Amino acid sequence: MVDAHQDVFSRTMCGEGMPAFYSEGKYVDHSCEGFLLPLIFKQFGICNSIKDYGFHLDKNGWPLVEECTKNFFVEYYPTAESMTAFDRLYKNVNGIQDKFIAYWDLVARTFAGNPYIVGYDPINEPFMGDFIADLKLLIPGYMDLHRL
């Protein structure tokens, strides 16, 4: 059984991505289809798996937090798992985007009128997703217009 507090951010990807129950193998395929230059990408850590880091795992099979925090968090964004997870959020695979919106709608309604809340950022530093499968995501502004 997974502790509820551990599901807030996907421990399967060192805290990056989405709730753990949406980032397991049955939801995220952990692959980067459409590789153009696989050897070059691998050299730069692009589309590697989080498993390639060789982290020790906890009882849930997730990388240990103390090992994950040895690297800057943005290093995990171009992993196969993270790129796939962001794609699935943006494309609403399995209704994840609908649930994401419903969650933040509830948060907003819960805290509406609180004089100590100025605002909130429901998706801080969004990653573009699988730019290998869709190179247009590398064009400035394309991701904002077509994904956000």
Three-class DSSP category at 63: strand
Check if 125 is active-site: yes
Average pLDDT (35-50) is 71
What residue numbers bound the domain in which 103 lies?
4-146
* φ, ψ dihedrals at 82, nearest 5°: -70, -45
Q: Are 48 and 55 in contact (CB under 8 A)?
A: no
The distance in angstroms from the start CA to the end CA of the chain is 34
Q: What is the pLDDT of residue 105?
A: 93
Catalytic residue among 16, 33, 75, 125: 125
Alpha-carbon span 103 to 101, nearest angstrom: 5
pTM over 0.85: no
Average pLDDT score, the chain: 80
Total domain count, the chain:
1
Three-state secondary structure string covering 18-61:
CCHHHCCCCCCCCCCCCCCCHHHHHHCCCCCCHHHHCCCECCCC
Rounded to an integer, what is the distance from CA 11 to the centroid of its chain? 10
Residue scoring higher pLDDT (35 or 84): 84
Q: What is the pLDDT of residues 96-140, one digit of tens each?
A: 899 889 988 999 999 999 999 988 888 878 889 888 888 899 999
Average pLDDT (31-49) is 68
* Residue 2 clears pLDDT 50, i.e. is over it: no
Q: What is the pLDDT of residue 13?
A: 81
